[in-house]
Amino acid sequence: MHEAPIILIFATMLVALCLALLSKKRKRLDMEQWSVGGRRFGVLFVFLLLAGEIYTTFTFLGGSGWAYGTGGPTVYILAYGAVAYLFSYFLLPPIWRYAKRHQLISQPDFFVRQFNSPALGVLVALVGVVAIIPYLQSQMTGLGLIVQMASYGALPQWVAIAIAMFLLAIYVTVSGIYGTAWTAVLKDILILAVVLVVGIALPIRAGGLHQLMVHINQEKPGFLTLGQHGMGIPWFLSTVALTGLGFYMWPHAFGAVYTAKNERIFRRNATFLPLYQLILLFVFFAGFAAIWIVPGLKNTNLALLAAVQKTFPAWLVGVIGSAGVLTAIVPGSLMMMCAGTLVAENLYKPCFKNASSQQVQRVARVVVWLVAIVTFLFSIHSNATIVALLLMGYNFVSQFFPTVLLTLFAPSNVTKAGAFSGIVIGVVLVVYFTLTKQSILWGANTGFWALLVNMLVVLLVSVATRQKSLSPAQVNTGM
């Protein structure tokens, strides 16, 4: 009976791989096909691709783990989605229009074209790849835990992560974005069912939601509100602002924007995506219930899985594990593919100007494997919570936001030098905060401070450089 979960999980992986192979057969893949799906995706697919970003291991295991270990501050996850989608209504259509007009493929292309500066593209690509690694690591940590749990400890975590990484790299190499979109459909159906089951059954097992909350509040006063561990209201405000604004600055999310058929798709989705966010509530309920069902876990990432294992029969554990596997494969594959495209298009190509498109594609595929290996090495040595890893990535990518915002809505206020200095200073601050392990400074998220300094630097340096040479900046930032 104990083999059931692991069999189900590997079957799921196999199905995902088959979907990828099938979708490949229909299309010959060049770079544009491979990474932006020929810009032909409609409302549903774009919705799923963008939602695929959101319903990742981060929410499934990370969200429940945070509810379990951190409590009240988890509420930021509800809020930032709403803020991000609200902004998407205004932010994404102009990005999409610009990308379509200039046939852009990757996020750095946007910067290269706006400022006529391949060097800026190299910088953006580098920061993007750096940010992707902790994100991917969070997905792999989740995948590893699921496989480990499903095998009832027979497979140690590093083997589990190695299997997960290997599978993901193969998946990405053969499929590209079509595979991702189809798996996203499968994933969303399964995850919805699983989250509802888990989010309802576990609280019932813990005596009902109301009872559970009263109980938690008695045992741990203050746990269910903001304020503990320095995570008070200023932390909430700064983190929601940081992650809400940074949401679409992820290279893969930025790239997913290019896949849409028209710009109205984004405005329509801005209405429905916030509702989709409510599914997360059930994940939190499960996390809170785990406090009652499996108290005292050292590794909070395990909260949901441990509670599930204690409550449900083995086959159901398998189904839940399979959903978890898909929540890691969809965003994981997008991110790996994205890292490949970033390096091939924006680092390799500018350096080797006469490289053929086949060579560029081969580089992209090699990079996928390199990223897999690097992430694997980071994953086996780390015990960071999944949410902490994700927030680290957000600190990096949100540094693109000031420049993107200004180029879209106030192009005369930003110059190449301004964009460059803002991003560099923001990223340097984030690296400093990361290395000194400071995630909160003066009550607010450190990434938010970096973002503020970044914005200020962009504006000041742009003013200074524009006075010196008015015309080139305006020529370059026009359009």
Partner 1 sequence: MAIRWLACLPIIVIFGGVFFVNHVYPILLGMPFLFFYMVMAILFTSVCMAVIYHFDPANKEE
Residues in touch with partner 1 (CB under 8 A)? 72, 75, 78-79, 81-83, 85-86, 89-90, 93, 203, 208-210, 212-214, 217, 224-227, 233, 236-237, 240-241, 264, 267-268, 270-272, 274-275, 277-278, 281, 284-285
Q: Which is nearer to partner 1, 170 or 281 (CB)?
A: 281
Residues 6+ apart with CB under 8 A from 154: 6
Q: Which is nearer to partner 1, 83 or 431 (CB)?
A: 83
Q: Which is nearer to partner 1, 45 or 85 (CB)?
A: 85
Element (H, E) at 18: helix 4-26
Q: How far is the CB of 236 from partner 1 (least distance, A)?
A: 6
Q: How far is the CB of 248 from partner 1 (least distance, A)?
A: 15
Q: How far is the CB of 92 from partner 1 (least distance, A)?
A: 13
Q: Which is nearer to partner 1, 225 or 299 (CB)?
A: 225
Q: Which is nearer to partner 1, 237 or 441 (CB)?
A: 237
What one-character DSSP code corresponds to residue 449? H
Count CB atoms within 10 A of the CB of residue 33.
Answer: 17
Q: Which is nearer to partner 1, 269 or 415 (CB)?
A: 269
Count CB atoms within 10 A of the CB of residue 193.
Answer: 13
Element (H, E) at 375: helix 357-380
Q: Which of 405, 443, 403 is nearest to 426 (CA)?
A: 403
CA distance 247 to 219: 35
DSSP 163-204: HHHHHHHHHHHHHTHHHHHHHHHHHHHHHHHHHHHHHHHHHH
Residue 15 DSSP SS3: helix
CA distance 225 to 207: 21
Residues 6+ apart with CB under 8 A from 62: 138, 142, 301, 385, 386, 387, 390
Q: How far is the CB of 453 from partner 1 (least distance, A)?
A: 21
Q: Which is nearer to partner 1, 89 or 152 (CB)?
A: 89
CA distance 117 to 115: 5
Q: Which is nearer to partner 1, 27 or 220 (CB)?
A: 220
Q: Which is nearer to partner 1, 168 or 226 (CB)?
A: 226
Alpha helix stretches (DSSP H) within 37-176: 43-54, 57, 64-69, 75-101, 107-115, 118-150, 157-175
Q: How far is the CB of 8 from partner 1 (least distance, A)?
A: 31
DSSP 264-297: HHHHHHHHHHHHHTTHHHHHHHHHHHHHHHSTT-
Tokens of 353: 């100007």
Q: How far is the CB of 226 from partner 1 (least distance, A)?
A: 5
C-alpha distances in Å from residue 237, one per residue of 76, 226, 435 = 8, 11, 24
Residue 440 DSSP SS3: strand
Q: How far is the CB of 270 from partner 1 (least distance, A)?
A: 5
Tokens of 152: 């009832």
Q: Which is nearer to partner 1, 77 or 124 (CB)?
A: 77
